[in-house]
Structure 1
């Protein structure tokens, strides 16, 4: 099921998400299927649960459309913890399905190590670099209540203020299903 994507200004995007219990209280298989379907319908490469209104520590990624070498980078991250970020920071233009039509250069560290569970509740500890690390860091930020605009300079934020205010007031359109704020 394609779910609406919550846009900038929705309180759930600013909350630190809660761990998902491995007790069957959350239908992980259905949630994962819905998240991938929603992400694909919006032409995204990652989607975190807060973006569909759920304050839960889960995100999905599929970077097959990004660049060569990422064709098989389709994963589910449940209750993830980034345990190390290292390497030279590098800038890359990022966007976000929750902040339509805004793209900015964001500096992130090149390498990460992350622990997480997959959709079968198997534990993993893996390291990633480059674009894969960046996608994970971006989605991980969502479950921490952080948006990519929090990583840009005060000057750039001032330049975007009017656009962000419009999105926060619900004056936004996207070519995918959204749930804008109603302030």
Structure 2
């Protein structure tokens, strides 16, 4: 189904928190592009919207499928919205690789942020919601989102990329603000 339709059909679901095994295990490949996947995608867009996110991976809804959605701006400020199934990430190497440090958060650890160094651009190949080949290349928030969400598909949370001290600080930040986010957030809104 077209992205415009996926954007209007779903319902928000609770987002799984760090520590749940589904977030720390590589996801299964998407092989069926039928009705169940389309319903999941619609719910992912609705959940991402309710949480005011840039993107969301299926494992964050407790589903171990290699798919994520994105809805954010690229390096030109253009809003881009889409689906990536079975993503494979390519990052610049050598002289073309430029790292950018940016405060990154995760909807599965709401209210906590830490600076993370990532390449300024990324390219993802995979399949769209119909199973057709797709390539998405971007910088800006979308470039970071492609990297962050592909990490989720690989069973990695961004805290895994931090030094021990920074990771502990991140968890303290979450612990101090966790009471603002009910267990079924964003199905139930935060009080922030």
**What TM-score, normalized to structure 2?**
0.79
The answer to whether 1:36 aligns with 2:45 is yes
Query: Please, which runs of 5 or more residues in structure 2 have no aligned partner?
Result: 1-10, 188-192
Matched positions, count: 172
Distance 2:102 2:52 in 1: 19
Q: Is the 8 A contact 1:48 1:143 kept in 2?
A: yes
SS in 1 for 2:152: helix
Q: Is the 8 A contact 1:100 1:172 kept in 2?
A: no
Change (3 A) 1:23 1:161: closer
Residue of 156, 159, 164 corresponding to 1:154: 164
Higher strand share: 1
Quote the Cα distance in structure 2 between the aligned partners of 1:126 and 1:58. Answer: 14
- Structure 1 residue matching 2:114: 3-state secondary structure: strand
* Equivalent residue number for residue 109 of structure 2: 99
Q: Secondary structure of the residue that 1:19 maps to in structure 2?
A: coil
Change (3 A) 1:148 1:23: closer
> Cα RMSD (Å) of the superposition?
2.4
Partner of 1:88 in structure 2? 98
Whether 1:78 and 2:85 are equivalent positions in the alignment is yes
TM-score (norm 1): 0.83
Secondary structure at 1:158 match in 2: helix
2:39 equivalent to 1:45: no
Residue 124 of structure 1: which of 117, 122, 134 is its match? Answer: 134
Inter-CA distance 16–174: structure 2 relative to 1 (3 Å threshold): same
Question: Which 5+ residue runs of structure 1 have no aligned equivalent?
Answer: 179-183
Kept after mapping to 1: 8 A contact 2:91/2:119? no
CA distance in 1, matches of 2:48, 2:171: 26
